[in-house]
Chain A
Amino acid sequence: MSSATSTKAVAARTAAAPGPAETTAFKPWQFFVLAGMFGATATVIVATGQSPAGIVTLSLTVLAGSLVAIGAYETLVPLVSPDATHAPKLIQGRTRAALEREKTLALRAIKELEFDHAMGKIADADFQDVRDRLRARAIGLIQQLDAGGGYRTVIDRELEVRLGRKPARPADAGTGGGTAAIDTDPAPAAAGVCASCGVGNDADARFCKNCGSKLA
């Protein structure tokens, strides 16, 4: 019944979405499940003369019918409700997340390297060499993340955009085309930091990938 559970969970989430005040109210999926149960019970009463296994499968099938009703409800309701729940995307989310991910990757690589070294898999000279390289990359990433501003700055900026204080940038572009490509090899140090919005860019970038202004 995993499909049933997940569908219900989704239904519950949809129903609870408008606000915390409605959490105690009767939710649509509960109505459908109850109806399904009534239907199943009715089936058991009507379907006399069948084998017990037959009655069980039949009533389960009727109960599954309530899932169809929930699905139909979920399909139709979003169409008639206003398109207001659409939240603007985190403008810097992907860039930052990718950088963070990159950093974790570098840190993990250092850890793994140290572990391998401790287990005697790698020679001292090589270990030093590779570790220095990895550390240089990790530090570069940390600097880049710093240059992009802490999470507070990001959140503040995000809030401003959402509250409409600043003209919103073309935020939705991420979903459609190829704008979201993240180079996995960001430049070390703060070479490509944008002067106007503070976002870190690739070392060889000529325009900011966030706001489009020309880089120094």
Chain B
Amino acid sequence: MASLGAFLLLLSFIVAAYAAAACVAGARRHSHRLVESGIGAFHTVTALLTVASGVIVHAFVVGDYSIKYVQRYSDSVQPLFYKITSYWGGLDGSVLFWAFLLSVFGTVAVSVNRERHRELIPYVVAVTAVVEMFFLFLMIIHNNPFDTFITQTPADGRGLNPLLQNFYMAIHPPTMYLGFVGLTIPFAFGMAALITGQLDDSWLRAVRRWTMFSWFFLSLGLVLGMIWAYEELGWGGYWGWDPVENAGLLPWFTATAFLHSVIVQERRGMLRVWNVTLVILTFLLTIFGTFMTRSGVVQSVHAFGDDPELARLFVMFMVGVALFGFGWVIYRMPMLKARHELDSWMSREAAFMLNNWILLFAAFFILFATMFPTLSEAVAGERLTVGPPFFNKWMTPIGLMLLFLTGVGPLLAWKKSTASNLQSQFLWPTVLALAVSGALVAMGVRVWVSGLCFALCGFVFGTIAQEFIRGAQVRRDTTGTDLVTAMVGLVGRNKRRYGGYIVHLGIVLMFLGFAGEGFSVDQQVLLKPGQEATVGAYTLHMDALRVTDDGQKQMVTAHVTIKDSSGAVLGQMHPAKWFFRKHEEEPTTEVAIRRSINEDLYLVMPAFEMQEQSASMEVHINPLVNWVWVGFGIMAIGTGIALLPETVFSFAAAKLPAGATAAMLALGLALSPGAAQAQHVDAPSAGIVVQRNPAERAVTKKLACWCGGCSKLPVDECTCGHCAGVRQEVDGLLAKGMSEEAILQYFVTQQAGQHVLAEPMSGIGRYAWLVPYGLGATGILLVGAAAVRWSRRRHEDGEAAAPVADSGLNERLDDELRDLD
């Protein structure tokens, strides 16, 4: 079977090469049959890769351990579900999966658009086939998933990494890949438009849905990754700015920018060059994301280790794509030029331009910060680490600005808004924002970032509500129906716009969740059976520490009863540590979470002492965190509505699978605290709340975990054993009377070459940061300059607004306008 698989890969490569060549030759020589044959070959690649996928899945299912990849990522005791998902559990298989998905998407896209975009199709096939060839090439010469053991075949496999044996982790990579791979299709269409020179909006229409679809799956992938991190990694949060998380976020930003700037091109014919550039950039970032994940160029929890040869291949491919793509853009530049006119700074176009700039800046900033360790190593020979606090510090204002624009954009009209209109438009959203701020101040909330975020959330919510209500009122007045019917009609008639608003609503809820982090409570306690500790409004009562075994793993579970402040029992929680067979040295931390709509109580047991029956517990109270998932559910519904075909009316939205799935996901997570159980408590004695020294916390906040396994969290928050040691060491050093600076310096010297600081403090680190900011500033200057030029051109044009006199033509125009409804 293994040799069949390898043969299929080789054959796929040859057939893909033929497909690309036949299509290009056919298009250039106007030979219909060559193109047809090329398309046939393109479908054949899909079929071949389907069979190859079948072969590898079969090998996993029957446990064919003669194949190295199967031996490495599965074993006989693994449940069937995880055996199948092991297909994409490692590097080689995930490359095959990438290629397989790409071929399926390509086939679907080509079949759907074959008649409508006949001129583009040959080049779409060629571009997609070349991308497929790259991944096939990778597998054939470097990462063949069908490699076998030459001599001794092991009797059993090594098993999938226990951290990955989690439902969310099993479905997170495929959704991520659906997003990544889906974004190749817009790229292929964009390139085809550039090559054929048919640069009107038709290619945009072909890729609009693909982009939205891919964007949705990218978002879903990111959220699943967040849920996984929250439930599995056990550090109390969901986003650690890990290089691989960032890799998914980069194309998400550019794809979001593209989804917005497409609207400007459709409405106003502006930003054509920009849109093509964004498509190419997004594709490059998806490849870069795959590269970053797979080559180990930046250390990360997911990276599969250092591999310079793979890195070289990826770099070559990316340089090739960039040269080819941007080369065509430059070549076609004269044709891409459209008449730009910006009537006013206070217009939706201007808001879109600003939004694009911020999104792109965010992408660039994250790219730079993620690559910083590698860059600093290349430039200064020292690997400087950038920890989550740094990202949080700089991404917070960017996020808030985006949130603000989300509220402002819809209030502005296309072309021009004036002062009096702005007043009437901004009144209610601003009132709502002020009301929220007032309420927060009255409630004594003093976390200004979160407070600002809440106020902005109020503002955006006001905007969305106002758009829906006023739109429905206008429609009610013109159609003469009631408000609800008018609203349904409104959404049905303009699904993309109002679907988009619903997506914005989801974003608002997610931001609520993000802002909740400002109020989180973390504490460490040490408990023995019978002891109690109080954290926030909860009292934890330790019942027992038990050891069980289910054949695949040994489980050490703490049984904890949770009570509220009045002493009433709320439920039982069971944080645990699991030791998987063959992976005993890397136990997984099983988090216990008590969800509610206000806050989560999140228990982790990082360490335990079996003989003394004591367990140290990390207790996190995470306010509003569930709104992040709920917000995503709403976002999915919005995307679903926007994706509905023109002919389907909006009330069919409930039937939509994408929306429904995500809503189910959100509901599935819902928030069912365990049934309260009456417990008999024998005179509980107090547990030890591990009081952490504030001076120690101040120091450890500035250190990033360098154990290699965690995602470089601040030592202060990290739950790994290594960091517990570091914290003790810091305590000791502080006791010796060392200053903060001296302690930091001590760790830097101790870990020579591998920087341990959460933020760059000195030397090249300090100046390197000028680069993204410099570029960001240049970007906004360029946007401003373009806007000034375009608005000036418009004034020079002085297009006379003389009404057309011909009444016959005017009537016809009115008729056509009526028909448009």
Contact = CB atoms under 8 A, between A and B. Distances in A.
Interface of A: 2-4, 6-7, 9-10, 14, 50-51, 53-54, 57-58, 60-61, 64-65, 67-68, 70-79, 81-83, 85-86, 94, 98, 101, 103-105, 107-113, 115-116, 118-123, 126, 128-130, 132-133, 135-136, 138-139, 142-143, 172, 174-182, 184-185
A133 to B, nearest CB: 5
A34 to B, nearest CB: 16
Contacts of A104: 820
A181 B107 contact: no
Interface in B3-59: 15, 18, 27-28, 30-34, 36-37, 39-41, 43-48, 50-51, 54-55, 57-58
B43 A10 contact: yes
Contact of A7 (B41, B80, B107): B107
A61 B55 contact: yes
A111 B820 contact: yes
A75 B37 contact: yes
Contact of A71 (B47, B104, B816): B47
B54 A57 contact: yes
B256 interface: no
B43 A111 contact: no
A50 B119 CA distance: 49
B150 interface: no
B803 A143 contact: no
Q: Is the interface of B mostly helix, strand, loop or mixed?
A: helix
Given A113-B414, A181-B197, A57 B50 contact: no
A19 to B, nearest CB: 17
Contact of B50 (A64, A76, A132): A64
A132 B412 CA distance: 20
Contact of B37 (A6, A64, A78, A116): A78
Nearest to B415: A130
A75 B420 CA distance: 64
Contacts of A177: 197
Given A71-B45, A130-B801, A178-B332, 11 more contacts: A3-B104, A64-B50, A71-B48, A75-B41, A86-B31, A108-B820, A113-B415, A115-B474, A129-B801, A135-B803, A139-B806
Given A74-B44, A172-B30, A184-B200, A139 B51 contact: no
5 contacts: A116-B414, A118-B474, A176-B27, A184-B200, A185-B338
A138 B813 CA distance: 8
Contacts, number: 228
B207 interface: no
Interface in B76-108: 80, 103-104, 107-108
Contacts of B80: 53
B167 to A, nearest CB: 19
Interface in B252-305: 266-267, 269
Given A86-B30, A185-B339, A61 B54 contact: yes
A142 B343 CA distance: 24
Interface of B: 15, 18, 27-28, 30-34, 36-37, 39-41, 43-48, 50-51, 54-55, 57-58, 61-62, 80, 103-104, 107-108, 111-112, 114, 119, 196-201, 266-267, 269, 332, 335, 338-339, 343, 411-418, 420-421, 424-425, 470-471, 474, 477-478, 799, 801-804, 806, 809-810, 812-813, 816-817, 820
A189 B413 CA distance: 28
A112 B51 contact: no
Given A175-B30, A181-B197, A121 B474 contact: no
A86 B33 CA distance: 8
A54 B817 CA distance: 62
B54 A123 contact: no
Given A2-B104, A50-B62, A74-B44, A65 B802 contact: no
A107 B816 contact: yes
B196 A75 contact: no
Contacts of A61: 51, 54-55, 57-58
B61 A184 contact: no
A202 B410 CA distance: 35
B410 to A, nearest CB: 9
